[in-house]
Structure formats: structure tokens, C-alpha cells
Structure 1
Amino acid sequence: MRTVTHSFLQSRWLWLLARVLLAVVFVSSGLAKLIDFQGGIAEMQHAGLSPAWLFNIATIVTLLGGSALLLADKALWLGAGILAFFLILSIIIVHHFWMLPAERAMPALYIALEHMSVIGGLLAASIASHQRKIYANAIQG
């Protein structure tokens, strides 16, 4: 049983699936802002960001660029860091539950908590990527 579990956890397809699932939220948001550029601009305006078009472009580049690094497992730590920083900024700028009226505070708190959980997943992916590379080097060398 231990060998089966080890093989399963070391499999390339499971590692790819984990990265794809972690990136889904970022890729879908980045593509939505790219495909519906005006909708992305409206979202930035609603958040009070100006110039909205520039923030929309920066968001698209951040989400898709960070996701590409995550999916390719090339400098995954950098992609995860970029995406985690984006999530932290979005909590501070958009989902600042501590500053909102009660009726808007709870939904913003839940989104902030979800963002923190995803940041944990990004940290775990960075650690896993690093450990997988150490393991692969140990086997080869």
C-alpha cells in the first residue's frame, strides 16, 4: 500500500492536476477580464482604481503571467508569489471587510478568508515544486 501511495503522490499527472486546479481561478478571471475588457474596466472603476484601463491590463498580465509560471512549473515560486501578492492587495483594496458597513462586511470577510486559503495553496505548491526538484535531482545524481 505504501508503494501505491508513494507512486500516486509522485505521479506527474497528479502534480499537473494540482497545478491546473490551483490556477483555474486565476486563469478564468484573467481571461474574463481580457475577453470582456469593458467589464474588467467597470470592475476596476467599482473598486475605485484609476485609470481603470491600466489596472485592468495589469490585472490581466498578473493573473495570466502568474498562472503560466504555476502551470509550467518553471519558477513556480515566482508565479505563486505574484498571485499571492495580488490576492493580498485585493483583500486590502477591494475586500477590506474591517472598513465596510455590516451588511457588506460578512461577504467581504468570506472572500478574504477564501483568498487566504488560496494563498496557503500557493505556498504549498511552491514547497511541493521545490521538494519534487530536490527528489528528482537526488534520483538522477
Structure 2
Amino acid sequence: MNSVITSLTASTWFGYVARILLTYIFWASGISKLVDFPAAVSEMQHFDLNPPASFAIATIFVQLAGSLLVILNRWTWLGAGALGVFTALTIPIAHTFWNMEEPLKTVEFYVVMEHITVIGGLMVAAWKAGK
């Protein structure tokens, strides 16, 4: 059984699928923002990011370029790092659970915990790519 698992996880396609799934939240969001750019700009305005169009463009770029680097396993450290920093920055900007009332406070707290977990997954991807 161990050899089957080792063979599976060592295969090229497994790595691609893992990296596609790890970055799904980013490239799906980037494509969505690209397809509906006015909504992306409105999202930036909602979080008081100025100029909103510039922040929308930067967000789309980081999400798509970072995802592509991780998926292709090229300069993975850069793509994972950019996505990790981006994810960390969304916490004090968009997920300020400490300023919220229940029940939204608890919901946003768990979103933050998920963000921290995603950052850890990106760190593992960068670490694994360096080996």
C-alpha cells in the first residue's frame, strides 16, 4: 500500500492537480475580477482602497500571476510568497473580526483561520518546490 501512495504522490500529474487545487481560490477570484472588472473596483472601494481601479488591477495580477507560477512550479517561491503576503494582508483589510459583533465576528474569525491555513499550504508548496 505504501508503494502505491508513494508512486501516486511522486507522479507529475499529482503535483499539478495539488497545485491547481491549492491556488483555486486565487485564480478563480482573479478570473472573476477580470470578467467583471467594475465589481472588482467596487470591492476595492468597499474596503476603502484608493485608487480602487489600481488596487483591482494589482489584485488580479497577484492572484493570476502568483497562481500560474505555483501551478507551473516555476519560481514557486515567488508565486507562493506573493499569494501568501496577499492573503495575510486581506486579514487586517477585509476580515477584521475583532471589530465585529456576533455572529459575524465568529464567521470572520474562522475565515481568518482558513487564511492562515492557506498561507501554510503555500509555504509547503514553496518548500517542496525547493527540494
Q: TM-score range by the shorter chain?
A: over 0.9
Task: Please provide the CA RMSD for this pair.
Answer: 1.2
- What TM-score does the superposition give when structure 1 sets the normalisation length? 0.87
Deviations for 1:80-109, whole angstroms, at most 9, x for unmatched residues? 000000001000111111122334322221
1:68 maps to what in 2? 68
C-alpha distance in 1 between matches for 2:36 and 2:112: 24
1:113 maps to what in 2? 113
- Unaligned 5+ segments in structure 1 are 132-141
- What TM-score does the superposition give when structure 2 sets the normalisation length? 0.94
SS of structure 1 residue aligned to 2:50: coil
C-alpha distance in 2 between matches for 1:126 and 1:40: 28
Q: Which amino acid aligns with 1:58?
A: A
Q: Structure 1 residue runs of 4+, over 4 Å off?
A: none
1:39 maps to what in 2? 39
Deviations for 1:29-59, whole angstroms, at most 9, x for unmatched residues? 0011111000001111111111111110010
Number of aligned positions between the proteins: 131
C-alpha distance in 1 between matches for 2:34 and 2:106: 29
C-alpha distance in 2 between matches for 1:104 and 1:44: 20
SS of structure 2 residue aligned to 1:49: coil
- Unaligned 5+ segments in structure 2 are none
SS of structure 2 residue aligned to 1:102: coil
Q: Quick one: percent identity of the two aligned structures?
A: 40
C-alpha distance in 2 between matches for 1:49 and 1:127: 32
| Counterpart check, 1:52 vs 2:52 | yes
Higher relative contact order by CA 8 Å / sep ≥ 6: 1 or 2? 2
C-alpha distance in 2 between matches for 1:116 and 1:29: 18
